Amino acid sequence: MNPKKIKHISKTLSLVLRHRPEKFDLQLDKQGWCAVADLLEKFNQNGIALNQETLEEVVQSNDKKRFAFSEDGLNIRASQGHSIDIDLAYQPVIPPEILYHGTAERNLVSIFKEGLKKRNRHHVHLSADKETALNVGQRYGKPKILIIRAREMQAQGHLFYCSENNVWLTEEVAPEFFST
């Protein structure tokens, strides 16, 4: 399939499954799932040709694994990054000793003052490897990688979750838990 079309569908999926389901009049349950049949119908009604095969290709080819099908394949949701009220029902897990966060150099002053905040999302996003953090940081400018002492945070009562696409999630990271 045309890479440009895949990217367009992926971006539209992100919009409606993470931020604005009402744009396509989609109904998400409290855990962010919507019926695949409804999603296909609403995409087509809104002028975006989409069938089951194409949707599966978009989900499988997404480099960040942003979307997931339910075990029975009848439902779909975004794996994380929602700005709407969703309970992904992730269970707390013990994180690795160190996690990483990619950001732009221009953000460091405020981050070292305030810490990492979830802002309009449900969680702060962290990665288990430097390469992923670097890729994230590059999206926003000259990249900087923060080293997060996740196990130390967890020992002090902070909860961590790991999404279906291996993004580590936590409520916030105070400055005393990271360095560059």
Whether residue 104 sits in one domain with residue 152: yes
Q: Is there a domain that residue 173 lies in?
A: yes
Does any domain span residue 83? no
On whether both 49 and 108 belong to a single domain, the answer is: no
Q: What is the mean pLDDT of the chain?
A: 93
133 belongs to a structural domain: yes
Q: What is the pLDDT of residue 34?
A: 97
Residue 26 has pLDDT above 90, yes or no: yes
* Cβ atoms 127, 133 nearer than 8 A: yes
> Is residue 1 very low, low, confident or very high in pLDDT (cuts 50, 70, 90)?
confident
Question: What six digits make up the tokens of 62?
Answer: 């997404």
- Give me the pLDDT at residue 85, please: 86
Judged against a pLDDT cut of 90, whether residue 174 lies above it is answered with yes
Please tell me whether residue 142 adopts helix, strand or coil conformation: coil
User: 31 with 65, same domain?
Assistant: yes
Q: Say how many domains are in the chain.
A: 2
Q: If DSSP codes are grouped into helix, strand and coil, which group holds residue 127?
A: strand
In terms of domains, do 103 and 169 share one? yes
Q: Verify that 106 and 64 share a domain, yes or no.
A: no
Co-location of 49 and 111 in the same domain: no
Taking residues 60-74, report their average pLDDT.
91
Domain assignment of residue 172, given as a range: 99-179
* pTM, entire model: 0.74
Q: What confidence tier does 162 reach under pLDDT thresholds 50, 70, 90?
A: very high
Percent of the chain residues topping a pLDDT of 90: 81
Supply the CATH number for residue 35's domain. Answer: 1.10.10.970
